[in-house]
């Protein structure tokens, strides 16, 4: 289904039943449709949305600002005929979920950020992540990563490089993650804008007093891409934020611990009504 917004057509798909939750996507909706727990779609209506300029949505990604994002998502909410809606963002898309909630506290009931860092400074995040991996990861995990990277050709596309990094992203360092991302629709221009212009200036601590919507922060103990240690000293300063560490997960606890993820998220949503 599509929703017309200023300068774009936004694609969305619906999965499940119950209170609605927007699931933000920048790689097409299919990978997240596949990875979201069946238990979660039994409790929530998951509305998977391709952000403008990504997946099957049209529009120029350079037009995407946090304000434009909020307007886009408000159009989707309105098209669904809902007064209030939750929003889920994975990885750096969690920052976009936070900013939608910041701008629209009257219509956003809950923000769920999964594997999200506290800021979008990618150079800083990369350095801290590498340091944590070196300090914390087992020798077996490090060896598997070295072996995976050594087999990559020089001109390997970004998707292949990401799959080689499974020891950084999953509890099981040997997992074959390729089926999880089948049918991904990656638009390089979108990521150039998101990671090069939109995210770097973002920091959840800036104007934190304007965060009024409750935020659930799901972190994986074995996430070395966006490690939980990034939040040390940050999470306690944000009164609306509830952190939850999943002990047998990496970057995608909704896939690796589906039952625990569903139980934790839905219990929190019930508590924060």
Q: Hey, which residues does 217 pair with through a beta bridge?
A: 113, 243
Task: Using a pLDDT cut of 90, give the percent of the chain over it.
Answer: 96
**pLDDT band at 273, cuts 50/70/90?**
confident
Check residue 33 and give its pLDDT. Answer: 97
Q: How far apart are CA 252 and CA 234, in angstroms?
A: 21
Looking at the fold, whether 147 and 78 belong to one and the same domain comes out as no
Domain that holds residue 137: 123-179
And the tokens for 189? 């221009």
Looking at the fold, whether 103 and 154 belong to one and the same domain comes out as no
Looking at the fold, whether 144 and 220 belong to one and the same domain comes out as no
Looking at the fold, whether 233 and 253 belong to one and the same domain comes out as yes
Exposed / middle / buried, residue 102 (Cβ in 10 Å: 0-12, 13-18, 19+):
buried
Looking at the fold, whether 114 and 201 belong to one and the same domain comes out as yes
Sheet architecture: strand order including 85-90: 2-5, 8-16, 45-50, 20-25, 85-90, 108-114, 215-220, 241-246
Number of domains forming the structure of the chain: 2
pTM: 0.97
Check residue 154 and give its pLDDT. Answer: 84
**pLDDT band at 77, cuts 50/70/90?**
very high
Mean pLDDT of 75-98: 97
The residue behind tokens 């304000």 is: 67
Among 179, 194, 220, identify where a domain stops.
179
Could you tell me if 235 and 243 are in contact, meaning their C-beta atoms sit under 8 angstroms apart?
Answer: yes
Among 131, 151, 179, identify where a domain stops.
179
Q: pLDDT tens digits for 132-182?
A: 999 999 999 999 999 999 999 888 888 888 999 999 999 999 999 999 999
Looking at the fold, whether 72 and 30 belong to one and the same domain comes out as yes
Q: What is the mean pLDDT of the chain?
A: 96
Q: Which CATH number belongs to the domain containing residue 222 in this structure? A: 3.40.50.1820
Looking at the fold, whether 205 and 99 belong to one and the same domain comes out as yes
Could you tell me if 215 and 242 are in contact, meaning their C-beta atoms sit under 8 angstroms apart?
Answer: yes
Looking at the fold, whether 35 and 151 belong to one and the same domain comes out as no
Among 154, 179, 204, identify where a domain stops.
179
What CA–CA distances, in Å, run from 103 to 15, 99, 106, 112, 183?
26, 6, 9, 15, 32
Mean pLDDT of 108-120: 98
Looking at the fold, whether 161 and 188 belong to one and the same domain comes out as no
The residue behind tokens 């991302």 is: 181
55: CB partners within 8 A, 6+ apart: 11, 25, 26, 27, 28, 29, 185, 187
Check residue 82 and give its pLDDT. Answer: 97
Q: How far apart are CA 116 and CA 129, in angstroms?
A: 13
HSE at residue 17, side-chain half, CA atoms within 13 A, is 0
Q: How far apart are CA 80 and CA 61, in angstroms?
A: 24
Looking at the fold, whether 164 and 37 belong to one and the same domain comes out as no
Check residue 155 and give its pLDDT. Answer: 84
Looking at the fold, whether 98 and 229 belong to one and the same domain comes out as yes
Looking at the fold, whether 117 and 140 belong to one and the same domain comes out as no
């Amino acid at each position: 289904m599509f929703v017309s917004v200023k300068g774009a057509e936004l694609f969305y798909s619906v999965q499940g039943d119950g209170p609605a939750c927007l699931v933000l996507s920048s790689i097409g909706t299919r990978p997240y449709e596949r990875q979201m727990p069946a238990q979660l779609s039994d409790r929530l209506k998951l509305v998977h949305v391709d952000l403008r300029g990504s997946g099957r949505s049209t529009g120029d990604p350079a037009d995407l600002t946090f304000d434009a994002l909020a307007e886009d998502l408000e159009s989707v909410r309105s098209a669904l005929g809902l007064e209030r809606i939750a929003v889920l963002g994975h990885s750096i898309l969690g920052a976009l979920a936070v900013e939608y909630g910041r701008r629209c506290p009257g219509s956003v009931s809950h923000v769920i950020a999964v594997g999200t860092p506290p800021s979008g400074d990618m150079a800083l995040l990369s350095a801290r992540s590498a340091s944590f991996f070196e300090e914390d990861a087992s020798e077996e995990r490090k060896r598997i990563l070295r072996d995976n990277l050594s087999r990559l050709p020089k001109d390997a596309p970004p998707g292949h490089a990401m799959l080689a990094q499974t020891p950084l992203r999953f509890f099981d360092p040997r997992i074959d993650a390729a089926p999880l991302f089948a049918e991904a629709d990656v638009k390089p221009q979108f990521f150039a804008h998101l990671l090069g212009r939109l995210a770097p200036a973002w920091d959840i601590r800036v104007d934190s007093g304007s965060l009024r919507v409750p935020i659930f922060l799901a972190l994986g103990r074995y996430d070395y891409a966006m490690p939980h240690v990034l939040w040390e000293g940050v999470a306690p300063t944000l009164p609306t934020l509830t952190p939850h560490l999943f002990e047998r997960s990496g970057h995608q606890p909704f896939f690796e611990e589906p039952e625990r993820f569903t139980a934790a998220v839905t219990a929190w949503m019930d508590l924060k009504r």
